Amino acid sequence: MLKDLQCLEDSNSSVRLRAALAVGTDPDPRFIGKLIERCAVEPEFFVRDMLTWALTRHPASTTVPELLGELRSERAQARSQALHTLSKIGDRQAWPAITRALLTDTEDEVARSAWRAAVVLVPEGEEPELAGVLATQLGRGERATRLSLSRALIALGEVITPALRDAMTDPDPRVRAHALATERLLRDPDAGFESAIEEAKRVVALGTTRREG
């Protein structure tokens, strides 16, 4: 097992992947710290995903406190990966740590991970408040970021409607278009994001943001 831990730092990504798989296959709480430490610096997505899987194989009572500490890290990847892992573990005791600061983090990857974690961990009854915070991020970033936000909002269900309606009157046309596209996807999950965005842009350009019908 000690050899596997050493291999997590090997220059060959395939070796690191196999090492993470080995640690997860035979979980040992003594190695949680090393897995989390590696998550913060691992450059390859598929290896990070295996590290997350390895962490989910350990008791939540042991992993969650360690992961919560990472949310205060100055390293964006550490925060992002910890949030991603918490969303996979699904322990709602982590909910209080999903702060507004994380949900509005200036690093897109951190914010996206926070959005995904939030919709998994939010306690019953707190969805409207979460929707309100998420709606402040409408219009943010490039396509991948906007799509992540729309998916997070839609996962909350109809409670997002008031927040979307408010956003449809925002002075920023990007915010209005994103809100309209998200509402369309809420009503028609089969509509593609690109087509929803293009339709929303046309509506905004025409100056009519009120939902028809």
Collect all residues with Cβ–Cβ distance below 8 Å to 39 and sequence separation of at least 6. 48, 51, 52, 55, 70, 77, 78, 81, 82, 85
161 and 94 within one domain: no
pLDDT by residue (tens digit) across 62-89? 999 999 999 999 999 999 999 999 999 9
Domain boundary residue among 87, 121, 155?
A: 121
Model pLDDT, residue 191: 65
Domain final residue pick, 105, 121, 137: 121
- Does the structure show a pLDDT above 90 at 203? no
Query: Does 127 share its domain with 157?
Result: yes
* C-alpha closest to that of 40 among 86, 88, 77, 87: 77
91 plus 171 within the same structural domain: no
Kindly state whether residues 22 and 90 are assigned to the same domain. Answer: yes
Q: Residue 53: which CATH number?
A: 1.25.10.10
Q: 92 and 152 share a domain?
A: no
In the structure, what pLDDT confidence band is assigned to residue 205 with cuts at 50, 70 and 90?
Answer: low
Based on the domain organization, do 4 and 96 belong to the same domain? yes
Its pTM stands at 0.88
Residues of the domain holding 98: 1-121
Residues 104 and 133 both lie in one domain: no
End residue of a domain, out of 98, 121, 144 = 121
How far is residue 114's CA from residue 146's CA, in Å, rounded to a whole number? 14
pLDDT at 104: 98
